[in-house]
Amino acid sequence: MIQFDAVHKLFPNGTTAVHDLSLALPEGGVTVLVGSSGCGKTTTLRMINRMVEPTSGTIRVGGKDVQEQDAAELRRSIGYVIQQSGLFPHRTVLDNIATVPLLLGWGRRKARARAAELLETVGLAPEAGRRYPHQLSGGQQQRVGVARALAADPPVLLMDEPFGAVDPVVRTQLQDELLRLQKELSKTIVFVTHDIDEAVRLGDRIAIFRTGGHLIQCAEPAELLARPADDFVADFLGAERGLKLLSLRTLADVPQGAVPEGGTWTLVLDEARKPLHWASKDAELPVRPLQDTDSLLSALNESVASPTGLIARVDAAGVLTGVSSRDDIHEHANRAHTEVVAA
Ligand SMILES: Nc1ncnc2c1ncn2[C@@H]1O[C@H](COP(=O)(O)OP(=O)(O)OP(=O)(O)O)[C@@H](O)[C@H]1O
Ligand SMILES: [Mg+2]
């Protein structure tokens, strides 16, 4: 467990980065710190491993006051992952991952064996170990960053916008990987992000900060969505409260019917009855067919993009099963929303 008690950070230039913070982060859980730029997230994180010293207050990790521990030793016992991975450019991937074990005096052989094992854990091929960081994609570099932080098997992992610099598809993959790893490892993770969707996806608890280093609310995602503490939190979650719920619901329950005849647009299929595009007398527009497992949010999106307001529904093989209307989707969206407000 990580415990902040009345922690204050005033920088010499007069900026209060963190204001009277008292917060308990549960052991073995992911706590996500969110809030707009400059609200003190990074400062809060860096006070845990003493890269920043608080002006007053105490921070305990596993019951021990961090001020009473050797800073370098403390840092080695806490994994730290940052945006752009922070890898050493002139060391191979394997040596990057082995950094902390080597510092801990494990010996080269054992450290490398551990690094090789971690490459696999984070989903990289063994060959990647011999490369240099610049020879990897951004997403692969972030995986190496995570592997390096895990190398000495620290109980605590600090992650400062670790997936902030990769594209949305890779970001989702990395989030999936982290969730999978966390199921196995149950680390105490403090994760900083700007992205409330990422927070809801990854967090067991979410702490929302406001400029000036004020903690406004810390709660489980569902609690936060259902009962924001004040207007600031509600604004921060915004209209996305409903959309987030839709992203958790699938299309499965939405009724489907046959493609209506005689309209301006027809749905063109190939010989296997797989949708190709929407066609009118003089235009063609793309169609993105959806399966039962797709979310209500993608359905709503697709129905708005569709010239007919209809979405094409297919089975797992991509063969058309029917269409659903924007109204059908809306009706289910409304139902989902009502349930959240009543919760
Ligand atoms: N070394 C420093 N000296 C003076 N002020 C600082 C220092 N580090 C941070 N600050 C200020 O403290 C406040 C909090 O900064 P911090 O980096 O913790 O914010 P953040 O929430 O991580 O922001 P971002 O989302 O942009 O990363 C900001 O106003 C920042 O300018
Ligand atoms: Mg920051």
- 55 by DSSP, 3-state: which? coil
Count of residues in the chain: 343
Sequence-separated (6 or more) residues with CB below 8 Å from residue 96: 87, 88, 133, 144, 148
Element (H, E) at 94: helix 93-97
CATH no., domain 251-342: 3.10.580.10
How close is the Cα of 11 to the center of ligand 1, in Å?
9
Nearest CA to ligand 1 atom 3: 11
Cβ(42) to ligand 1 under 6 A? yes
Q: Distances in Å between the alpha carbon of 70 and those of 41, 148, 157, 290?
A: 23, 21, 18, 55
- Residue 60, Cα to own-chain centre: how many angstroms? 26
In sign, the C-alpha dihedral spanning 99, 101, 105, 111 is negative
Q: What is the pLDDT of residue 343?
A: 54
Residue 167 one-letter amino acid:
D
Shortest-distance ligand to the CA of residue 51: 1
CB atoms within 10 A of CB 247: 16
Cβ(149) to ligand 1 under 6 A? no
Question: In the predicted model, what is the mean pLDDT of residues 289-313?
Answer: 93
Reported confidence tier of residue 268, pLDDT bands at 50, 70, 90: very high
310-340 confidence digits (pLDDT tens): 999 999 999 999 999 999 998 887 776 666 5
| Ligand 1 binding pocket mutation candidate from 15, 163, 190, 198 (most atoms within 8 A of CB) | 15
Question: In the predicted model, what is the mean pLDDT of residues 168-183?
Answer: 87
Reported confidence tier of residue 209, pLDDT bands at 50, 70, 90: very high
Nearest CA to ligand 1 atom 1: 11
pTM: 0.77
What CATH fold (topology level) applies to the domain 2-244?
Rossmann fold (3.40.50)
Nearest CA to ligand 1 atom 18: 40
- Mean residue pLDDT across the chain: 90
Domain boundaries, the chain: 2-244, 251-342
Question: In the predicted model, what is the mean pLDDT of residues 101-105?
Answer: 84
Q: What is the pLDDT of residue 340?
A: 55
Q: Distances in Å between the alpha carbon of 55 and those of 11, 67, 214?
A: 8, 12, 15
Nearest CA to ligand 1 atom 10: 17
207: Cα within 13 Å, side-chain hemisphere: 25
Give the closest residue to 137 by CA, choosing from 123, 157, 116.
123
Pairing verdict, β 205-210 and 214-219: antiparallel
How close is the Cα of 240 to the center of ligand 2, in Å?
23
Nearest CA to ligand 1 atom 27: 37
How close is the Cα of 75 to the center of ligand 1, in Å?
20
3-54 confidence digits (pLDDT tens): 999 999 999 999 999 999 999 999 999 999 999 899 999 999 999 999 999 9
DSSP 260: P
Shortest-distance ligand to the CA of residue 212: 1
- 130 exposure class (CB count in 10 Å sphere: 0-12, 13-18, 19+): exposed
Sequence-separated (6 or more) residues with CB below 8 Å from residue 40: 9, 17, 18, 19, 209, 212, 213
Q: Distances in Å between the alpha carbon of 158 and those of 37, 43, 85, 246, 301?
A: 18, 12, 13, 30, 35
Nearest CA to ligand 1 atom 30: 38
Pairing verdict, β 275-279 and 266-269: antiparallel
DSSP 253: G
Q: Distances in Å between the alpha carbon of 61 and those of 52, 200, 343?
A: 15, 25, 35
- 57 by DSSP, 3-state: which? strand
CB atoms within 10 A of CB 82: 19
Confirm whether 2-244 and 251-342 share one CATH topology: no
Residue 24 one-letter amino acid:
A
